[in-house]
Amino acid sequence: MPGNYFRCIGGKTALLLLIQHAVFSNPMPEQMSFSASSYVQNAHPSSTARVALKDLLTTLEGRYKVRINYIGEIVNNIQVLPPSAKADGVQFVDYLNNLLKPLGLEAEQAAMNQYIIYRLNPAGPKITPIVAAQVIPVQQVRIVSGTVTDENGIPLPGVTVLVKGTNNGVHTSNDGKYTLKNVPEKAVLVFSFIGFKAQEININNRTDINVKLLTDIQSVKDVVITGYQEIKKDNFTGTAITISGEELKRFNPQNILASLQSFDPSFKIVENNINGSNPNKLPNINVRGTTALPTGDIATLNRNNLASVTNLPTFIMDGYEVSLQTIFDLDPNRVASMTLLKDAAATAVYGSRAANGVLVIVTKAPKEGMLALSYNYELTVTAPDLTDYRVLNAKDKLEYERLAGVYTANMVDSPDELEQEYYRKKKNVLSGINTYWLSQPVATELGHKHSIYLEGGSKAMRYGVDARYQTNDGVMKGSFRKRYSLSTNLSYNLNNKFRFMNQFTISQVSSKESPYREFSNYVKMNPYYPKTDSMGRLLREVDKWGYYDAVKGASSLTVLNPMYEATTGSFDKTEYLEFVDAFSIEYNITDGLKVRGQASLTKLKGTADKFVSPFSNDYFTVTGDDLKDRGKYTYGTQDNWQVDGSLTMNYFKQIGSSHYINLSLGTNIQDRKGDNRSLVAQGFTNDRFSELEFARRYEIDGSPDGSVSQERLIGGFLSTNYSYQNRFLVDGTIRVDASSKFGTDSRMAPFWALGLGWNVHNEHFMSHKVISQLKLRATTGLTGDVSFPAYLSNTTYQYYSSDWYSTGVGTVFKSYGNQGLKWQRTRNFDLGLELGLFRDRIYISPRYYYKLTKDLLADVIVPPSTGFTEYKENLGEMVNKGYEVTFRANVYRSRNVSVNLTANAVRNDNKITKISNALKSYNDKVDTKQATDKDFSSVPLLRYKEGQSLYTIYAVKSLGIDPENGKEIFVKKDGTKTYEYDVKDMVPVGDQNTKLEGFFGGSLNYKNWMTEIKFYGKCGGDMYNQTLVDRVENADPRYNVDSRVLSSRWKQPGDHVFFKNIADQGSTKTSSRFVQRENVLELKSIYLAYDSPASFYKRLKMQSLRFSVNMNDIWRTSTIEAERGIDYPFARSFTFSLSTRF
């Protein structure tokens, strides 16, 4: 059913009613004249209860088999008595006027089955309609013509152009042109079209008036698309936010997921401090906090690796589920809208896939009309951001080495040799060598994107073809991600009863990592090292350090130039090809009842190739017979397919004038299969023979590996949305899912949701002069999560491939199956309020949520003697609760200027409320690991404790450096002070959860110009500053370090400083001294666009032309100084776009 579109026009308000029969057989004439009947049928109340005028118009739409669309707000908050049925022979305009005139409104017929309604002017005389053929005795008349386009300059056919206060009007032609005769010299023209904001323009003696209608973006958001049904937002109690594709592109045209976060920060992309801006790394996302425990052994569960916790929402595109990778590589130009469903009332139709939220993506559907071509070009400039690195220069680095005692004694070299080494490097410094190694593997790179879209067709048949080529070069030299895609969209409408749709997409993505390898290798290079010799040839060996090893005795360490890696034939690349075909049939059985069936097939084949040259620095120390095994090739393939089918029946009905029901009954089935294979070969003669067949052997003690997995999910649901007089709202959903991932005793599970709402603004006692919207809602429900491997409930085996028996091949344990495994379930509670003031020029929406996740899946570590090392078990409970608020305001608007402010914020508190004895045993093993393994002695490892957050930082409490002796003072669990460090004294010392984070900014529109700016901020969270530990206090003086290594160091008794003595190296353990409060402010996005005038682009045979520029991640400040982008630096980007249409 069509939506209702509202528009406040200047100081007056107008309402356009376009009432059209469901099927049109003849096109509209370009010029029309109208007259009204004088007969009016008296209305008689059919009910003693008053109803909202807006709901009554919807009732008339269904009763008389017409379509009603209206623009304006004058029907808001008006309650009326329902009229009796229209008598035979009565003109609809008279029937409508009999209802509207007592309300201060009047309808005029604008065309066949088209009417315009305006507010009567009580202070002035009654405006007499002026027919097209009528002679105006007072004012002179003229012919006015022009072109009507959308905000992109695309001509709009079918726009209604009307002389205000008359029934003299026309519709624009297919090229957006109109010619209106008999227009008074002081007339006001009203331009209106479905889905666009209406405009009133004084002609001021002009005869040529071109108009640009702005898209009524709010109209897109008036309907919530859940993937199975469409629900009027006014009647919906769930929590959902809808963003148009154009809005997403204004924030970041290269990353629509980052754009979505700027509109709702509860959709959180976890910052990856290891991989930075690497274009080939998929983001980790959670919605309203984490509802899963990390997996892996103790060695991997440090604070930095929490970014790898899988907690993704479910992604639904055009009705079928897709992967994060598909969305990551999706062309933003294809996106029509994205809807984020967050609470149980919004997500329960997805049952076991809903605990982490659902993101529904709708792609653009082709529009009917003549063949049209849209072209978009983007040039992206990406520059590395190294501002968070503060390394020493050559002079200071050498001085740091002297103070650290490097040239005093090393138990290998004599004092004279050490002194000679010092002065050799001093000579380099004095000669001007001060290499900034951080700039060597990075560069400012250019990326290009070309997008073409062809569309057209008739009401019966519509078609669309989309093609895209995109290169995204990373700031590390040689790294890139290239995307190619082609999609077709066909739609056939058979007598408005059957609609057949098919969408086919083929995508190819190829990526490559930088041959310069990890960025951290360059950060630690000493600045007094030269890159090349006197002949300009790249050096491989740049230095050699002597040291004493407790086992080997006198040893030496050769420092190798990391730039040498790029001269070898090493490579690391991946590629995949994906086919997606989605076919659907929609059958409109009766008005308000339709059935939709959909089936999609997704096929993905990919390869991964990583070759390490035998000349790589990795093999520099290899000698003897091992030289034959230099070089390594890692090869992997994936072959995945997915079938996703659904059958849904939707029923929506207005019962009387007070009751509205939207019901959806459906089922879906999903079948996935994955086939992954891999092998590692070694032994290459040189890097010219880098193909796999040149390998000498498989990796030592290795063999080819592979796995095949298959999983099925089937479910059925019933979802109902009910509203009474658009005042009282109810949403209810029941779903049952069955999954092959569980044992026979737990294969099926029920999920449900209930939501209640109250549109207070529709009550009689509300004063509407200030409050235009006031909605209260509360929801609760149970959702689930099945995002884990397929065979956890089954004990699996693998063939013993190292040797065969005469009787056949043996098998060994691979994993233990837990038949008692239960569904991970999340109980949701949600409270919300929506408040609009001054006709929604000010809007604020605060929300509170509470999520209790039970039967958390975690790894239970067992002795290897059992045949396996771990298995899955339901071990605990976790709570996420928080607050969200959204604010927007239109602070100023006029005909040419509009100023808007926006802000949003979120706070999430995470707490583990229950853990099992197995997790408590895990904590003891973590303590042992941290006490005995020096690699983890200064890293905060993950622990599980009831009452604490998953993001709690555990360390020994510290009182700082003792001014008397330079030692660190620790606090034991019993409160006593000591100089002795003990991991058993680990306590919670901080929490990474922020107290508040969100985005704020504003936009300015002036004539053909538009600019938008957005900031991001967060505050109140804690961070363990690993940079201060690894690169300052525990810094290895043989490598470059953070510049703070020379400041705030203890030197003599009485010094009140933060760091220990500069000569005290490598002894600092994990303590609270390095936990700091993190407050961040970032300038995330600046957008500037200009729409060229028609007089310019028409000379180029175009229908529109827009130039725009996006700037992202421009500036950042933080209360913590820590290195960011360890293996791949962060970056700033600038995107220059050109969009046109022919």
Q: For 640-658, how does the pLDDT look when each residue is reduced to its tens digit (9 = 90+)? A: 999 999 999 999 888 887 8
Sign of CA dihedral 339, 344, 346, 347: positive
Identify the residue with better confidence: 122 or 441.
Answer: 441
Q: CA 95 to CA 83: how far, in whole Å?
A: 9
List residues bridging with 492 in a β-sheet: 461, 500
- Please identify, among 218, 233, 249, the residue that sits at the C-terminal boundary of a domain: 218
Of residues 152 and 962, which shows the higher confidence score?
A: 962
**Domain range holding 43?**
8-132+139-218
pLDDT surpasses 80 at 864: no
Evaluated on CA atoms 989, 995, 997, 1001, the torsion sign reads negative
Across residues 16-38, what is the average pLDDT?
33
Taking residue 860's Cβ as centre, other Cβ atoms within 10 Å add up to: 18
* Dist. CA 119–CA 110, nearest whole Å: 16
The pLDDT value given to residue 511? 97
What rounded mean pLDDT belongs to the chain?
A: 86
CA angle 824, 829, 831 (to 5 degrees): 155
Question: Is the confidence at residue 610, as pLDDT, over 50?
Answer: yes
* Residue of higher predicted confidence among 29 and 393: 393
pLDDT in tens, 164-196: 877 788 888 877 889 998 888 888 898 877 556
Confidence bin at 31 (pLDDT 50/70/90): very low
CA distances from 508 to 162, 205, 350, 378, 638 (A): 50, 57, 29, 19, 14
Query: pLDDT for 389-430, tens place per residue?
Result: 999 999 999 999 999 999 998 888 899 999 999 999 999 999
Which of the four pLDDT bands, split at 50, 70 and 90, describes residue 109? low
Show the tokens assigned to 691: 């193909």
Whether residue 281 is found in the same domain as residue 204: no
- Residue 307, pLDDT > 50, answer no
- 162 lies in the same domain as 225: no
Residue type, 684: F
The lowest-confidence range among 27-36, 612-621, 691-700, 1089-1098 is 27-36
Query: pLDDT category, 734, cuts 50, 70, 90?
Result: very high
| Spatial distance between the Cα atoms of 759 and 233, rounded to a whole number of angstroms | 11
Across 920-940, average pLDDT: 86
Position with higher pLDDT, 137 vs 733: 733
Do the domain assignments include residue 1036? Answer: yes
The separation between CA 47 and the C-alpha centre of its own chain, rounded to angstroms, equals 49
1080 in a structural domain = no
- What's the confidence (pLDDT) of residue 151? 66
Q: Are 230 and 189 found together in one domain?
A: no
Cβ 143 vs Cβ 179: under 8 Å:
yes
Q: Tell me: pLDDT of 998 over 70.
A: yes
**Other C-beta atoms within 10 Å of 1102: how many?**
16
pLDDT at 70: 52
Output the six-digit token pair for 538: 């790249």
1088: pLDDT strictly greater than 70:
yes
Is residue 731 within 8 A of residue 689, CB to CB? The reply is: no
**How distant is the alpha carbon of residue 986 from its chain centre?**
37
Of the pLDDT bands very low, low, confident and very high (cuts 50, 70, 90), residue 130 is: very low
Question: Does 383 score more than 90 pLDDT?
Answer: yes
89 and 24 in a single domain? The answer is: yes
Output the pLDDT for position 45: 38
For tokens 């400012």, name the residue.
444
Q: What is the mean pLDDT of residues 857-863?
A: 76
Domain final residue, candidates 158, 189, 218: 218
Nearest to 11 by CA among 839, 766, 774, 842: 839
Please name every residue paired with 548 in a beta bridge, in sequence order, or none if there are none: 554
Q: Could you tell me the end-to-end alpha-carbon distance of the chain, in angstroms, rounded to an integer?
A: 31
Q: In which band, very low, low, confident or very high, does the pLDDT at 343 lie, cut at 50, 70 and 90? A: very high
Task: Please state which of the ranges 51-55, 297-301, 593-597, 824-828 shows the lowest mean pLDDT.
Answer: 297-301
User: Does residue 197 share a domain with residue 231?
Assistant: no
Pairwise pLDDT comparison (220 vs 905), residue with the higher score? 905
Which pLDDT band holds residue 306 (cuts at 50, 70, 90)?
A: very low
> What mean pLDDT comes out for the span 281-292?
91
> Is 1051 among the domain residues?
yes
Asked if residue 118 belongs to a domain, the reply is yes
859 conformational bin, left if phi > 0, alpha if psi -120 to 50, beta if neither:
beta
Let me know whether 194 and 230 are in one domain: no
Specify whether 298 is located in the same domain as 155. no
Q: Which residues pair with 536 in a beta bridge?
A: none
Q: Can you give the CATH number for the domain in which 312 is found?
A: 2.170.130.10
Q: Give how far the C-alpha of residue 53 lies from the chain's centroid of Cα atoms, to the nearest Å.
A: 38
Whether 332 and 260 map to the same domain: the answer is yes
Collapsing DSSP to helix, strand or coil, 312 comes out as: coil
* Per-residue model confidence (pLDDT) at position 1101: 86
Let me know if residue 556 belongs to a domain.
Answer: no
List the structure tokens of 71.
Answer: 């623009």
700-722 burial, b at 16+ Cβ within 10 Å, e below that, comes to eeeeeeeeeeebebbbbbebbbb
Question: How far is it, in rounded angstroms, from Cα 72 to Cα 192?
Answer: 11
What is the number of residues in the chain?
1142
3 state SS of 850: strand
Asked whether residue 128 falls in the same domain as residue 79, the answer is: yes
> β-pairing, 1130-1141 with 105-111?
unpaired
Can you tell me the distance from the alpha carbon of 185 to that of 138, in angstroms, rounded to the nearest whole number? 10
**Are both 128 and 261 inside the same structural domain?**
no
User: What is the structure's pLDDT at 870?
Assistant: 75
Of all residues in the chain, the percent with pLDDT exceeding 70 is 87
Mean pLDDT of 326-337: 94
Same domain for 361 and 275, yes or no, is yes
Evaluate whether residue 1061 is within a structural domain.
yes
410 in any annotated domain: no
Please report whether residue 872 resides in a domain.
Answer: no
Say which range, 54-68, 544-558, 1051-1065, has the weakest mean pLDDT.
54-68
Structure tokens at 716: 């059925």
Could you give the percent of the chain with pLDDT greater than 90?
59
pLDDT at 1080 over 90: yes
Residue 362, token pair as written in the block: 């709708």
Q: What is the pLDDT of residue 141?
A: 76
Q: Bridge-partner residues for 1133, per DSSP?
A: 382, 1112
To which residue do tokens 């029901």 refer?
661
pLDDT-derived band at 38, boundaries 50, 70, 90: very low
CATH code assigned at 73:
2.60.40.1120
Residue 300: what are its φ and ψ, rounded to 5°? -95, -10
Whether 165 and 282 map to the same domain: the answer is: no
- The predicted model gives 233-238 an average pLDDT of 89
Number of domains the chain contains = 3
Give me the pLDDT at residue 123, please: 40
Domain closes at, from 218, 253, 268: 218
